[in-house]
Amino acid sequence: MVNRSPYAEVFPRCAAIVHHGGAGTTQSSLLAGKPSLLWLTCGSNFLGAELKRLGVAGDTLQRKSLTAQKLARV
């Protein structure tokens, strides 16, 4: 557990980024140049659909139905 973990320092070291789809986190994952997988915590699918359209993210998963097995299949 860490108190602070700046995306700009962490994301470039990741093979892929699984995140909640917020605008700031999405921007940071794009700037890092890493593939993303979004699991939504809010009702908007806009960013997930846009990232998939651009070819930089996989399918958007719903938080309530996300399991380790589903994540591994994506």
Q: Is the pLDDT of residue 4 over 70?
A: yes
pLDDT value, residue 40: 66
For 28-72, the pLDDT digits (tens) are: 999 999 888 877 665 567 877 887 888 877 777 777 777 888 777
Q: Which domains does the chain have, with CATH numbers?
A: 7-73 (3.40.50.2000)
Q: In what order do the strands lie in the sheet with 17-19?
A: 17-19, 36-40, 61-62
- At residue 70's C-alpha, the angle toward residues 69 and 73, to 5°, is 90
Q: Identify how many contiguous H helices and E strands the chain contains and give both numbers.
A: 4, 3
